[in-house]
């Protein structure tokens, strides 16, 4: 299994609680089920995503945005990113998504690595009886393929993503579907994610979010979005979820 170390410049060290969430520690210590984002939370998927974005834009003879704009493709729904970062209308953005998938399905999904510590964290949470679910805006078949490639599919009770027809891309919709499949209510659930749209989507679905600083979002982005707590490394999740 390939592993990716968390980027040192993204770390605050340990755990940082949102001061506005005074009861968050008690609630998260017993969280079940635990939902995990995929890109930037379980795997360092940036290289494959960016290579596929470049391939899609080249196939459509579209100009490349700057590096900062390209980096913002990692995490949010693809069709939204093509519209926002490349100034495409909805029809052109969907053409770009299809071109992206042609490259990603063959090459990009495996230009990827599991973050150090993630397998051990998943094993510890499962050993404590927690239900684990992947909730990603990535198309569900790709999410399952990637997890199987890294021998992590069996760690999860379910994997929920967007549909190939472009539906259920909003994070709140993905989270709601994940909860519908595994939990009778939102009570006790939490999402772990690395970008603001993860946090906003979780809150819109009625559950708190843990901000993962080893991924592609910044601490300020996650704080502003309303994360209940920020964790520096995967292993710090255990201090929050198994306290």
- Kindly name the residue from 37, 39, 194, 236 that is annotated as catalytic: 37
166: closest CA among 235, 77, 84, 92?
Answer: 77
Quick one: 60 exposed, middle or buried, by C-beta within 10 A (0-12, 13-18, 19+)? middle
Task: State yes or no: is 165 an active-site residue.
Answer: no
The answer for residues whose C-beta is within 8 angstroms of residue 210's C-beta and 6 or more apart is 28, 190, 191, 192, 193, 227, 228, 229, 230, 231, 237, 240
Give CA 112 to chain center in angstroms: 14
Distance CA 174, CA 56 (A): 25
DSSP strand pairing (209-212 vs 229-231): parallel
Max distance between CA atoms of the chain, in angstroms, equals: 53
In the three-class reduction of DSSP (H, G, I as helix; E, B as strand; rest coil), residue 4 is classed as strand
The answer for residues whose C-beta is within 8 angstroms of residue 139's C-beta and 6 or more apart is 101, 161, 162, 163, 164
Residue numbers annotated as active site: 37
């Amino acid at each position: 299994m390939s592993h990716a170390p968390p980027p040192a410049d993204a770390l605050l060290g340990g755990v940082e609680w949102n001061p506005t969430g005074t009861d968050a520690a008690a609630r998260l210590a017993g969280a079940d089920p635990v939902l995990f984002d995929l890109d930037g939370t379980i795997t360092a998927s940036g290289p494959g995503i960016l290579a596929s974005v470049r391939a899609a834009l080249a196939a459509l003879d579209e100009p490349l945005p700057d590096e900062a704009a390209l980096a913002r493709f990692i995490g949010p729904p693809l069709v939204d990113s093509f519209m926002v970062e490349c100034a495409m209308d909805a029809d052109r953005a969907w053409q770009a998504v299809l071109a992206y998938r042609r490259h990603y399905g063959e090459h990009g999904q495996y230009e990827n690595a599991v973050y150090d510590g993630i397998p051990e964290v998943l094993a510890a949470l499962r050993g404590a009886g927690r239900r684990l679910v992947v909730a990603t805006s990535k198309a569900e078949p790709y999410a399952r393929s990637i997890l199987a490639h890294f021998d992590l599919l069996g760690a999860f009770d379910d994997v929920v993503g967007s549909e190939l027809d472009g539906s259920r891309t909003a994070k709140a919709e993905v989270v709601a579907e994940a909860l519908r499949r595994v939990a009778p209510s939102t009570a006790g659930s939490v999402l772990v994610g690395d970008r603001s749209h993860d946090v906003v989507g979780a809150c819109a679905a009625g559950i708190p979010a843990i901000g993962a600083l080893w991924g592609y979002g910044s601490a300020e982005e996650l704080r502003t979005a309303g994360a209940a707590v920020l964790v520096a490394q995967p292993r710090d999740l255990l201090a929050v979820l198994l306290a």
